[in-house]
């Protein structure tokens, strides 16, 4: 039997729901594609797990930026130009 075939196998689940079974990186439990190597593995902000993005870092950052901009405009605008309509804020 070839020595290469005795190497520990990667147990990562593939998109086909099967085991990867590629040789694992020495000292690791996963192959070079599945987290064995630096920078490998699932991408940051996994799009496959995304349902609606409501709580994604990107959405939160956008919302925070929007609120900061709103508060800045609120501070800078005269009071009589600010209207509050059913919880939403409108600046005219």
Which residues here bind Zn ion, judged by CB under 5 A?
A: 10, 12, 20, 22, 31, 34
In whole angstroms, give the CA distance from residue 35 to residue 14: 13
With contact defined as beta carbons under 8 Å apart, do 12 and 20 qualify?
yes
Minimum distance between the CB of residue 71 and Zn ion, rounded to whole angstroms? 48
Cβ proximity to Zn ion, 7 vs 20, nearer residue:
20
Minimum distance between the CB of residue 6 and Zn ion, rounded to whole angstroms? 17
DSSP state of 68: H
Cβ proximity to Zn ion, 4 vs 85, nearer residue:
4
Minimum distance between the CB of residue 68 and Zn ion, rounded to whole angstroms? 43
CB environment 9-26: b (16+ within 10 A), e (fewer): bbebeeeeeeebebbbbe
Cβ proximity to Zn ion, 8 vs 56, nearer residue:
8
Q: Which two tokens stand for residue 50?
A: 């995304």
């Amino acid at each position: 039997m070839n020595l290469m075939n005795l190497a520990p196998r990667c147990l990562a689940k593939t998109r086909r729901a099967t085991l990867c079974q590629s040789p694992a990186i020495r000292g690791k439990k996963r192959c070079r594609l599945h987290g064995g190597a630096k920078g490998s593995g699932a991408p940051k902000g996994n799009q496959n797990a995304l349902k609606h993005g409501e709580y994604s870092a990107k959405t939160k950052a956008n919302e925070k930026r929007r609120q900061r901009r709103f508060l800045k405009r609120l501070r800078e605008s005269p009071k009589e130009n600010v209207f509050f309509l059913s919880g939403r804020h409108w600046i005219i």
